[in-house]
Amino acid sequence: MAAAAPGSASKHTFSSLLKQKPGRTSPPRSRGTMAISMRDVDPAFQGAGQKDGLEIWRIEKLQAVPVPRESHGNFFAGDSYIILKTTARKNGSFQHDIHYWLGKDTSQDESGTAAIKTVELDVALGGRGVQYREVQGNETEKFLSYFKPCIIPEEGGIASGFRHTEINEREHVTRLFVCRGKHTVHVKEVPFARSSLNHDDIFILDTKSKIFQFNGSNSSIQERAKALEVVQYLKDTNHEGKCDVAAVEDGKLMADADAGEFWGLFGGFAPLPRKTFSEPNGKDTAFPPKLLWVNKGQTVSVDYEVLTKALLDSTKCYILDCGSEIYVWMGRETALEDRKQAGLAAEELLREGDRPKSHIIRLMEGFETVIFRSKFNKWPKKAEAVVSDESRGKVAALLKRQGFNVKAVAKSAPVKEEPLPQIDCTGNLQVWRVNDSEKTFLSFSEQCKFYSGDCYIFQYSYPGDDGEECLIGTWFGKKSIEEERAAATSLANKMVESLKFQAVLVRLYEGKEPIEFFPIFQNLVIFKGGASTGYKKFVSENGIQDDTYSENGVALFRVQGSGPDNMQAIQVDAVAPSLNSSYCYILHDGDTVFTWIGNLSSSMDQELAERQLDVIKPNLQSRMLKEGSEYDQFWKILGIKSEYSSQKIARDPESDAHLFCCTFLKGKKVFIKFLASICLHYHSVCNVLICVFLLNWYSLWRTLG
């Protein structure tokens, strides 16, 4: 196929897609309405996004053509595709994630058309989707998670007439693939040569009669298990299920028959070098965000001292260039043509900067992601009403006149959801555990592991308006002792004093944490019992049974959270009533590990359970059990099978802070317990000012008494 790489061909063949038809005039804009016409939306998207699942279109002759369901996951390097992932929420509404995938050999005409058609699809869905640009070999984990176990693009494309039905008819070619990832597998074909191998990754060699899986010595058991799924996929796809499979361990010599055959294909065994080439991950360690306004397809730099939402105008489109990610923000009142131009301007920005590893993410005003909002200083907590009922009615009427089913638009109306954290998640975190009256620093691998019987102090530093901001907090476990709580409070106060009272001080209690707390720790695990010297001494002196977590014993964890950057695993009693159909659980008895999937849990819940497994039981493979299909061994570990709830566990509502006064009667110092809950909850790390008053009062109290 004589196709050019993205960015190498001319634009004139699809530029007409950006223009309105002759004689058409744009309707006058009114504040709060979407300046679009449904006549500009491709009819191929009629009825899209109205049920849970995947829908895929391939660009053929600059048109979007639906791909049959049985061909989902089959991609060609010479083509461009549009992928819509619709997720049905429990309240009946839909969430839409839109991706356009560009093969390494696709033409600029096709890639440009895919970018434009993606904007049209978003309009057809009511302008509420997030759009992602995917490039072959550099796909996002979100995109790859749709296709189990992986995607392996084939050569050719629609222009060359190369079809998937011909794959098994051609002569088999030996191919070498590298597999990376514990949760979502990135599979990439590499040159069939010894120099492609290394100790860190897993490689799959697909020959005519046998498939070899080469496990690098530094690879984990989770990575090997995922790679084995890829091996089975290749066996079923390329060999009709009829071929041998062999595993080759890095370091094994020719005495192993499979290893000898494997190395023979490379010309004989030879040790791999210790240091191997690793590809850059495409992430910039320091890239100051640049805000650009897109005006008639041209970018104009926006000067600012502080990046705030006030810089964004609803009648314009902007590009926020963050290096590894390029965000296209489209104002709610922009015309469809403006949105298309903004998308193409971002594509051009990538080509000019030669950044093949960067991703483009396009967002509509009012539906920004948490990561995008975190780039701004003090993004408003409460979003404005982005679409009025009148505007939604006009859009629905336009859709109906064009023959679209308007149910999806009605269902996609904004819904009240759990508030998302407004916090910069890229700061520096340090954590200490309190031991008696001292604090012990925790290593990076241990700082996300808390015990209910302990107290912790954390210091979180992040960039602010006038330099680095600092948050110092104490976290009290439910079963922590009073002496260590007092010690934690005193130690935290001293840390604030040492910073000349420039740090924000917060106090948090287990089970009462605000939503901003969890993204700081990201993958928090809360164990039973305690590891501090004070807790150990307390249970020993009082004859209390020590139920502190043991990695060699029986333990049950409930997994919860909203995403990979905000997840918690909480140890609960290892009995059947602790289960809940709305969650996923991890159960282990020593090295025997089960992952239990509740019938009411989501695919995101399952992904979080898999990720937390890496923290709780790294390098062990878990057996997945769906609710209702458990093994007898599972119930035996829990003691006995019994009833459990399917009601979602609700968090206690945040209470308002209370302030109590301190009075002195007859010259005697009387301490009135006050500020009881002022540090229990806080609503935004960026604007919290908890109390220089507290620190001053505390210092005065210590001086007087």
Q: Which of 370, 367, 362, 373 is nearest to 132 (CA)?
A: 362
Span 170-188, mean pLDDT?
83
Q: What is the mean pLDDT of residues 116-122?
A: 89
Over the stretch 60-82, which tens digit does the pLDDT of each residue have? Answer: 988 999 999 988 988 998 999 99
The pTM score is 0.57
Question: Of 183, 185, 217, 189, nearest to 201 (Cα)?
Answer: 217
User: Is residue 1 a contact partner of residue 300, using CB atoms and an 8 Å limit?
Assistant: no
Q: Give the rounded percent of residues in the chain with a pLDDT score beyond 90.
A: 28
Which tokens is 648 given? 């979602």
* pLDDT (mean) for 247-267: 80
> Exposed, middle or buried, 95 (CB in 10 Å: 0-12/13-18/19+)?
middle
Question: If you average pLDDT over every residue of the chain, what do you get?
Answer: 78
Q: How far is CA 133 from the centre of its chain?
A: 16
Q: What pLDDT shows up at residue 271?
A: 77
More confident residue, 621 or 637: 637
User: How many Cα atoms sit within 13 Å of 147 on the Cβ side?
Assistant: 25
pLDDT digits (tens, 9 = 90+) for 185-220: 888 888 898 888 888 889 999 998 899 999 988 888
Bridge partners of 55?
84
User: Mind listing the domains of the chain with CATH numbers?
Assistant: 171-273 (3.40.20.10), 290-374 (3.40.20.10), 550-653 (3.40.20.10), 658-692 (no CATH)
Give pLDDT, residue 445.
80
pLDDT of residue 652: 57
Pairing type for strands 202-206 and 668-669 reads unpaired
pLDDT digits (tens, 9 = 90+) for 478-499: 999 999 999 999 999 999 998 8
Residue 123's SS3 state is helix
Output the CA torsion 269→272→278→279 (10° steps): -20
CA–CA separation, 405 and 390 (whole Å): 18
CB-based contacts of 1, cutoff 8 Å, min separation 6: 78, 105, 156, 157, 159, 160, 162
Find tokens 């301007």 and name the residue.
345
Name beta bridge partners: 435: 438
pLDDT at position 54 is: 93
pLDDT in tens, 629-687: 999 999 999 998 999 998 877 665 444 444 554 544 444 333 333 333 343 333 333 33
- pLDDT, position 583: 94
- What are the CA-CA distances from residue 376 to residues 305, 364, 370, 596, 662 (Å)? 12, 16, 10, 39, 40
Query: Could you read off the pLDDT of 130-156 as tens digits, one per residue?
Result: 899 998 888 888 898 888 888 888 888
Phi-psi region of 252 (alpha: psi -120 to 50; beta: other; left: phi over 0): beta
Q: What is the CA radius of gyration of the chain?
A: 29
